[in-house]
């Protein structure tokens, strides 16, 4: 054979390399799909003769598109029906109001139970019920004042001051009972200056003549002890 035509019968390294690359790509795809895929061999030398060196067919390669696929569930529509959304907000708001009313009812029931125990002189149980009420409604000065008074009766003055500080410094700065009970607790621990400040604040925040008379009466009783 003519040396110039020997390449027709010799191994073509380029063709074999392309074939190996195709086999590797197809094997990778088959592994991802979980099944075996046989690579179809394509003879790119088909049609090549001694008088025709042109390749008349080629291996078609599939290329991954660079465009991202967006699932339909993530496609946002410009048309939004606001009615279901507004109805959901209304239902949620009503549910919150209903839940709050139920919490207030429970807290009120525990307050009454605590008051009953307080009148009977069973201060431990009174404190227990007031605490249970505060678990339902945490922003009510009444339960804090009642629990503070029960603690004062038990001579737990520092614990009482914690409750009273919550009332007058966070929940209701003008709360008359909060300032008066605070004045009484401070007087019991011999903190007379702060006790007088609490009495003065009670007078300042409560200008009603009836409230002023009550404050004066409380101060006079406190001096008797």
Residues 122 and 219 in one domain: yes
**Domain boundaries, position 139:** 93-224
Residue 64 lies in a domain: no
Please indicate, yes or no, if residue 66 is contained in any of the structural domains: no
Give the span between the Cα atoms of 148 and 141, in whole angstroms. Answer: 10
Same-domain check for residues 39 and 118: no
Q: Are 102 and 209 contained in the same domain?
A: yes
Structure-model confidence comparison of residues 20 and 56, the more confident one: 20
Q: Using a CB cutoff of 8 Å and minimum separation of 24, what contacts does 141-144 make?
A: 141/167, 141/171, 141/172, 141/175, 141/177, 141/178, 142/111, 143/107, 143/110, 143/111, 143/114, 144/171, 144/178
Residues 75-86, mean pLDDT to the nearest whole number: 52
CB 38 within 8 Å of CB 30: no
For the chain, what percent of residues have pLDDT higher than 70?
Answer: 61
Tell me, yes or no, whether 32 and 107 share the same domain.
no
Whether residue 78 is contained in a domain is answered as: no
Check pLDDT > 60 for residue 95: yes
**Tens-digit pLDDT profile for residues 152-200:** 999 999 999 999 999 999 999 999 999 999 999 999 999 999 999 999 9
**Span of 72-81, 93-102, 130-139 with lowest mean pLDDT:** 72-81
* Residue 128, pLDDT score: 98
CATH code of the domain covering residue 181: 1.25.40.10
Average pLDDT score, the chain: 79
Whether residues 119 and 217 share a domain: the answer is yes
- The yes-or-no verdict on residue 139 having pLDDT over 70 is yes
The pLDDT > 90 percentage for the chain reads 53
Asked if 178 and 106 sit in the same domain, the reply is yes
The predicted structure's pLDDT at residue 150: 97
In a domain, 177, yes or no: yes
Is residue 30 domain-resident? yes
What average pLDDT does the segment 71-85 reach? 51
CB 55 within 8 A of CB 44: yes
- The pLDDT value recorded for residue 57 is 46
Using DSSP, how many helices (H) and how many strands (E) does the chain show?
A: 8, 0
Residue 198 lies in a domain: yes
Tell me, rounded to whole angstroms, the distance of Cα 4 from its chain centroid: 80
**Do both 108 and 167 map to the same domain?**
yes
pLDDT score recorded for residue 225: 63
E-assigned strands of 42-186?
none
Instruction: Tally the domains of the chain.
Output: 2
- Looking at residue 94, its pLDDT comes to 85
Mean pLDDT of 35-63: 50
């Amino acid at each position: 054979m003519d040396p110039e035509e020997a390449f027709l019968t010799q191994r073509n390294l380029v063709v074999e390399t392309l074939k190996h690359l195709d086999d590797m790509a197809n094997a990778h795809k088959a592994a991802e799909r979980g099944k075996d895929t046989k690579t179809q061999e394509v003879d790119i030398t088909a049609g090549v003769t001694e008088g025709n060196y042109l390749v008349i067919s080629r291996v078609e390669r599939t290329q991954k598109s660079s465009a991202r696929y967006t699932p339909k569930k993530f496609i946002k529509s410009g048309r939004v029906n606001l009615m279901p959304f507004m109805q959901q907000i209304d239902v949620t708001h009503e549910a919150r109001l209903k839940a709050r009313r139920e919490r207030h009812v429970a807290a009120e029931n525990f307050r009454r139970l605590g008051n009953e125990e307080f009148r009977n002189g069973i201060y431990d149980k009174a404190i227990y019920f007031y605490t249970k009420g505060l678990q339902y409604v945490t922003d009510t000065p009444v339960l804090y004042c009642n629990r503070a008074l029960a603690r004062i009766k038990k001579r737990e003055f520092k614990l009482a001051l914690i409750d009273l500080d919550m009332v007058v410094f966070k929940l209701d700065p003008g709360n008359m009972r909060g300032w008066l009970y605070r004045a009484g607790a401070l007087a019991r621990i011999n903190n007379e200056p702060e006790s007088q400040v609490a009495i003065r604040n009670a007078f300042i925040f409560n200008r009603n003549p009836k409230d002023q008379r009550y404050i004066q009466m409380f101060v006079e009783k406190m001096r008797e002890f």
